[in-house]
Amino acid sequence: MKVVKFGGSSLATGKSVNQAINIILADPSRQVMVVSAPGKRKNSDTKVTDLLIKYAKKVLNHEDFKQIVDEIFSRYQDIGKYFQVEDKELEQLKNALLSLPTQIYPTDDYLIAAFKAHGERLNARLITMILNKKGLKAKFLDPFDVGLTVTGEPNDAIVSPETYINLDKVELSSEEYIVFPGFFGMTPSGHIATFSRGGSDITGAILTRGLHADLYENFTDVNGIFAANPSIIEHPDSIKQMTYREMRELSYAGFSVFHDEALIPAIEGKIPINVKNTNDPKNAGTLIVPNQKFKPTNPVTGVASQKHFSALYLHKYLLNKEAGFTLRILQILYKHNIPYEHMPSGIDDITIIFNRQFLNDQLIDLICNEIQSLINPDQLEWIDDYAIIMVVGEGMKYQESISAQILSALNEQNISPQMINQGASQISIMIGTKKEEADQVVKTIYKQFF
């Protein structure tokens, strides 16, 4: 049995939903369909998830929301009309949208999560109607029906282990398709919490593991995973096969096509993932597997970049001999509930890299002041303008000169990275640079290895 996830880019119009249904029908083992909310129809369009966030904010601000509800509903109406779904049935979706502000939520964050989740919930309902209309047996199931439970933040949830005990009890019939909304789960107190953005990939992976599927097919709008982001490199090579570890590092570092957290259930279940194109389903796409059986011909599999970082650089002579130096810094961060991403260090220097999204100016001043007064470094510098480029490849284990090749290629372009870190993971090299140089770094490294 296969679990098949369709991203929002594959379900944006009636025509694309029809392509997705044809993909399901083409292979009888494609029994479970996980769906995202309708995505962008063109570049200037807005994803339904973003429209729902707007709707939630209007409700919280006591603003009129009629227009935004109409806009959201029209996305489902357009898809429904393509399949001649009756107005009466579509009206159920509108009523579900309109009833959202009348529910009780523990906090505003829970309200936002519940609104957001309805992008996928209503789409799964609509696609179930469409399949039934086509004379196919299909059932809508959602996290509340199967016990997909989550903990953590309402808009950044984590799956609970009991989900897998609950999923073990779900009985599938080979006669019936299951349509399941991605992106959200149920909290212990019975509320909706969503995964982070792009999190329908995570739902697909959870169902793949929990329902013991043989393969997780993830359908998107490109022919698999490319060796670099196509918005930076024109027509990059596509990756035929890669390991879980490579994908996890690359998706964490910016390959938004597949969510990094979605790798974890697949790794736990040792289930391969096939990223494929809804518009070109015959293309083999990218297969993500537990281990690479052969030594790769290219040491580098992919180059990813992210620009939302900041860094705190600290210099202190004999830092390496001072017991508890890093511990005290971490205690300050812990006190203010600030997570950090990386902490490369040398004998007298340490750089702490943060995700800028978790910080504001006031917090930055606070931690810098505390570190200065409690730890007294010789130099403290806050670098707000920070990007990370990750060069990843299982093949790097077999070649030692990769960082030298990278540095000399960058040097030829007059780029001197602020940080280069290799070692913590044998299969990746991390480069810290200014945001404005990040794309050029990706281009230079890509040219060097592809």
Q: Which residues bind ligand PHD (CB under 6 A)?
A: 7-9, 36-37, 39, 47, 49, 119, 182-183, 197-201
- Flag whether 221 is marked binding: yes
> To the nearest whole angstrom, how small is the minimum distance from the Cβ of residue 439 to ligand ADP?
13
Q: How far is CA 242 from the centre of its chain?
A: 18
Which among 121-129, 165-173, 217-225, 289-297 is the span making contact with ligand ADP, rule CB under 6 A? 217-225
C-alpha to C-alpha distances, 43 to 37, 40, 51, 280, nearest whole angstrom: 16, 7, 15, 20
- In this chain, which residue has its C-beta nearest to ligand ADP? 7
37 vs 391, beta carbon nearer ligand PHD: 37
What, of ligand ADP, ligand PHD, none, does residue 182 touch, CB below 5 to 8 Å by kind? Answer: ligand PHD
Record the tokens describing residue 439, joined without a space: 């794309």
C-alpha to C-alpha distances, 413 to 230, 259, 398, 417, nearest whole angstrom: 21, 32, 27, 11
Q: How many residues does the chain have?
A: 450
| Amino acid of residue 328 | R
49 vs 155, beta carbon nearer ligand ADP: 49
239 vs 352, beta carbon nearer ligand ADP: 239
> To the nearest whole angstrom, how small is the minimum distance from the Cβ of residue 37 to ligand PHD?
4
120 vs 249, beta carbon nearer ligand PHD: 120
Strand locations in 361-439, DSSP E? 379-392, 419-422, 428-433
The distance between the two most distant Cα atoms of the chain, rounded to a whole number of Å, is 74
Record the tokens describing residue 422, joined without a space: 């290799």
34 vs 352, beta carbon nearer ligand ADP: 34
36 vs 251, beta carbon nearer ligand PHD: 36
202 vs 375, beta carbon nearer ligand PHD: 202
Record the tokens describing residue 58, joined without a space: 């209007």
> To the nearest whole angstrom, how small is the minimum distance from the Cβ of residue 134 to ligand PHD?
23
Strand locations in 290-402, DSSP E? 302-315, 349-355, 379-392
> To the nearest whole angstrom, how small is the minimum distance from the Cβ of residue 255 to ligand PHD?
12
- Flag whether 280 is marked binding: no
Of the candidates 258, 121, 148, 259, the one whose C-alpha atom is nearest the C-alpha of residue 196 is 259
Tell me the site size for ligand ADP, rule CB under 6 A. 18
38 vs 185, beta carbon nearer ligand ADP: 38
Indicate which single residue of 95, 173, 256, 426 sits in contact with ligand ADP (rule: CB under 6 A). Answer: 256
Which among 49-57, 163-171, 227-235, 288-296 is the span making contact with ligand ADP, rule CB under 6 A? 227-235
C-alpha to C-alpha distances, 82 to 14, 18, 96, 126, 277, nearest whole angstrom: 5, 9, 21, 12, 22
**Beta partners for residue 216, in sequence order:** 3, 273
φ, ψ (nearest 5 deg) of residue 284:
-65, -20
36 vs 444, beta carbon nearer ligand ADP: 36
- Flag whether 301 is marked binding: no
Of 52-111, binders to ligand ADP (CB under 6 A) are none
Indicate which single residue of 2, 3, 7, 213 sits in contact with ligand ADP (rule: CB under 6 A). Answer: 7
φ, ψ (nearest 5 deg) of residue 426:
-70, -15
Which among 137-145, 253-261, 262-270, 333-341 is the span making contact with ligand ADP, rule CB under 6 A? 253-261
Mind giving me the DSSP string for 248-314? Answer: HHHHHTT-TTS-GGGHHHHHHHT--EEEEETT-TTS--EEEESS-SS--SSS--EEEEEEEEEEEEE
Of 168-207, binders to ligand ADP (CB under 6 A) are 198
Instruction: Provide the mask over 16-55, with x wherever binding to ligand ADP is found by CB under 6 A and - wherever it is not.
Output: --------------------x--x----------------
> To the nearest whole angstrom, how small is the minimum distance from the Cβ of residue 264 to ligand ADP?
18
What, of ligand ADP, ligand PHD, none, does residue 183 touch, CB below 5 to 8 Å by kind? Answer: ligand PHD
Which among 4-12, 79-87, 149-157, 240-248 is the span making contact with ligand ADP, rule CB under 6 A? 4-12
Residues with Cβ < 8 Å from 323, sequence gap 6 or more?
none
Mind giving me the DSSP string for 85-142? Answer: --HHHHHHHHHHHHHGGGS--SSHHHHHHHHHHHHHHHHHHHHHHHHHHTT--EEE--
Annotated binding site for substrate: 120
Q: Which residues bind ligand ADP (CB under 6 A)?
A: 7-10, 36, 39, 198, 220-222, 225-226, 229-231, 255-257
Binding-site residue ranges for ATP? 220-221
